[in-house]
Amino acid sequence: MAKLRRGRLDGAFSVYLLLGVGLLLPALAVVFMLLYSQMNDQAGDARQRAVRAADTLVLLSDARAASDLAALRLLVQSQTFRSADLASGARRAREAVELVPGWQALLLTERSTGMSLYFATTDTIEYSPQESWTIEVGDEGWAYGGIEREGHHCPCVTVTSEVPGDGQHLLTVFISPLVYQEMLMKWVPQGAVAAIVDREGEFIARSIDYSNRVGTPGTSYVLDAVAKGGRGIYAGTTYEGLTNYTAYATSELAGWSSHIAISSALLDRPLQRAAAVITFGLLAAILAGLGLFVLAAREVVRRRKNEEHLLNLQRSEAVAQFTATLVHDFRNVISSLQSGLNLIKRKTRNDEIKSYVALIEESVSKATRLANQLLSLSHGKDTELESVDVSEMLDGLRYLLEQAAGDGVALSIGEMESHLAVVANRDQLELALLNLVVNAREALEGQGRISIEVSSVGDRAEIVVSDNGPGVSAKLQRTLFQPFITDKPQGTGLGLAQVAGMARNAGGEVALENVSEGGARFVIRLNKARTVEKARGPDFQAE
């Protein structure tokens, strides 16, 4: 009676747990959607801040340009210039050059011919230099020029105003771009990449390599933004090879534009996190659903055990079948999602959208690998075994193993006995080796060595995957090969479980050996194949 009462209590607990998890799923979905929305909002806020910074910089440059024009207009409207006294005007021009910071020279030209009448600097006044200038002003009687790298008192920026009266003369001021360079360097943070360019996309000021870049064209990305006008953000690469996003804004006064590079992480990281949130939410929903099904299956198995005393085998079969069915359905969903992403890539030419698609594809790839591992764990019975030539298999798998090891990690495959064959499922063995290499790479954190050695020991072959990383803690060793056991924040705990399942299905075993000088050593022991024929694997009993 006590045993029966305890069974009823366990059954009630399982029902309550099922109901609790079922009620929790909608709440989790809402939380993940809120997190996704928040990440997108963060990316949008970063864009707004960057564009506002570009607006501020262009306003500062406009303020300086407007003050230069105002000073020039005040000068040409003075009585000295209205009197048409050339000598007095030249002296007044020289005084203005001395008084206004950044002014280097003033040039008076005939509007119709472009011939110069005098050139006034702080040091000299040169009358009738007999040079022809091409200077144009609009109907309003003034104009902002661009940046000139070569020529009189250059590099320089020019501003021109019509001399009132008969309108036959133009007065042009040559301004040092250093005034804009100093303003830029005071405003932008140290180390930031920023620039001011003219209407042709040539640098007036630049936070990096100013002396070599002033008066030269910007990159193609800058020129495209100048041609487009307005304000916004574009992706590009600087002359120094820095890949980033750049916020820009265009002046309505002078037509110049400011460009401020911002870290790609400010925009990409929130989007990456949003993609990770969606992926994690999807996986969490799948695992929660699997948990519901597993709990339900265990409840059914528990009741049948009390009735028939045959529950151990039935529970294993029910869980495996349930898991395989769900994973197959999930992979169909993933295939549909991948097809949609491929269609988007073919239909769009927008690089920004393509970058987002790449982020989602990475998450889809992770979900696919997880589904394959779940499916591999669920197929424990009637596994097809065959004779696998280890040397030939490793040759064909070498590229994938090197990719799994990643940059910074040296992967070596030692010499082995030719035509050494083992009894195993080839697909599961290849996946097991990939899982061990990935596990070693994660332990090495991108730097170190991974080696694969194959040897013959009696009736068995040993495949050893070792690394020079930190090794495995004693606490984790006890449960290392159990599913869903991991010490990695982003791990699933399925990789090493798949390795153990593969070895068990093939009638072999896998063991972990810590190396005294540091690192981990995983040894897969499999039976040698005597004949090249397929066989049924041993029954799989879930642990």
Task: Flag the least confident range among 29-38, 306-315, 380-389, 412-421.
Answer: 306-315
Which letter, b or e, does each residue of 285-299 get, where b requires 16 or more Cβ atoms within 10 Å of its Cβ?
Answer: ebeeebebbbeebbb
pLDDT band (50, 70, 90) for residue 136: confident
CA 32 to chain centre: 21
Q: Distance (Å, rounded) from C-alpha 92 to C-alpha 106?
A: 10
pLDDT at 261: 86
pLDDT at 533: 47
Mean pLDDT of 453-467: 90
- Separation of alpha carbons 147 and 256, rounded Å: 10
**Confidence (pLDDT) at 524:** 93
- Strand 231-237's sheet: what is its strand order? 203-206, 194-197, 257-262, 243-250, 231-237
Residue that wins the pLDDT comparison between 314 and 214: 214
Distance (Å, whole) CA 374 – CA 287: 10
* Owner of token pair 């194949």: 529
Per-residue pLDDT for 535 more than 50?
Answer: no
Confidence of residue 538 (pLDDT cuts 50, 70, 90): very low
Q: What is the mean pLDDT of residues 45-72?
A: 87
pLDDT of res. 216: 94
| pLDDT computed for residue 313 by the predictor | 44
Rounded average pLDDT over 252-273: 75
Residue 214: band (very low, low, confident or very high) from pLDDT cuts 50, 70, 90: very high
Omega of the bond leading into 489 within 30 degrees of 0 (cis): no
Q: What is the pLDDT of residues 180-207, one digit of tens each?
A: 999 999 888 777 789 999 999 999 999 9
Spatial CA neighbour of 479 closest among 538, 543, 433? 543
pLDDT value for 106? 92
452: part of which helix (H) or strand (E)? Answer: strand 448-457
- Between CA 301 and CA 306, with CA 305 as vertex, the angle to 5 degrees is 125
List strand residue ranges (DSSP E) for 383-432, in order: 384-389, 409-413, 421-424
pLDDT reported for residue 322:
59
Q: Which two tokens stand for residue 167?
A: 């309108």
Which pLDDT does position 67 carry in this prediction? 92
Helix (H) or strand (E) holding 37: helix 2-76
pLDDT at 2: 43
Please compute the mean of the pLDDT values over residues 103-111 and round it to a whole number: 89
pLDDT at 422 over 70: yes
Q: Which residue has the tokens 């002003």?
A: 137
Residue-level pLDDT at 196: 95
3-state percent helix, strand, coil for the chain, nearest multiple of 5 = 50, 20, 25
Give ∠ CA 113-115-117 in degrees, rounded to 5: 135
Render the burial of 92-116: b for 16+ CB within 10 Å, e for the rest: bbbebbeebebbbbbbbbebeeeeb
Give the distance from CA 61 to its chain's centroid: 33
247 vs 257: CA distance, rounded Å: 10
pLDDT of residue 163: 86
CB 412 within 8 A of CB 438: no
User: Class assignment of domain 384-536?
Assistant: alpha beta
The predicted pLDDT at position 140 comes to 82
> Residue 540 — very low, low, confident or very high, per pLDDT cuts 50/70/90?
very low
Average pLDDT over residues 136-147: 83
- What Rg, from alpha-carbon coordinates, does the chain have? 37
- The class of domain 24-262 in CATH terms is alpha beta
Strands 142-148 and 520-527, sheet pairing: unpaired
**328-382 per-position pLDDT tens digit:** 777 777 777 777 778 787 877 787 787 777 778 766 775 676 566 566 656 554 5
Residue, of 52 and 314, whose pLDDT is higher: 52
pLDDT at 416 over 80: yes
Q: Taking residues 510-524, what's their average pLDDT? A: 82
Is residue 203 packed enough to be buried (19+ CB in 10 Å), middle (13-18) or exposed (0-12)? buried
Q: How high is the mean pLDDT of the chain?
A: 78
Rounded Cα distance between 489 and 491, Å, is 6
- So where are the chain's domains? 24-262, 267-375, 384-536
**99, 130, 102, 126: which is closest to 116 by C-alpha?**
130
pLDDT of residue 542: 35
Which of 362-376, 486-500, 520-534 tops mean pLDDT? 520-534
What are the φ and ψ backbone dihedral angles of 85, each rounded to 5 degrees?
-85, 105
279-289 confidence digits (pLDDT tens): 665 666 666 66
Which pLDDT value is given to residue 182?
92
Q: Tell me the C-alpha distance between 255 and 232, whole Å.
A: 15
DSSP state of 537: P
Q: Of 435, 445, 441, which Cα lies nearest the Cα of 480?
A: 435
Residue type, 289: G
Amino acid at 70: A
Specify the amino acid at residue 71: A
pLDDT > 90? residue 405: no
CA distance 452 to 430: 13
**Over the stretch 153-176, which tens digit does the pLDDT of each residue have?**
889 999 999 888 767 889 999 999
Query: What is the Cα–Cα distance from 349 to 360, expressed in whole angstroms?
Result: 17
Selection from 32-36, 248-252, 349-353 with the highest mean pLDDT: 248-252
**pLDDT at position 315, please?**
45
- DSSP letter string over 214-243? TTSB--HHHHHHHHH-SEEEEEEE-TT--E
Please, which pLDDT band fits residue 221 given cuts at 50, 70 and 90?
very high
Cα three-residue angle 221-226-229, rounded to 5 degrees: 125
* Each residue's pLDDT tens digit, 143-156: 888 899 988 788 99
Identify which has the larger pLDDT, 358 or 393: 393
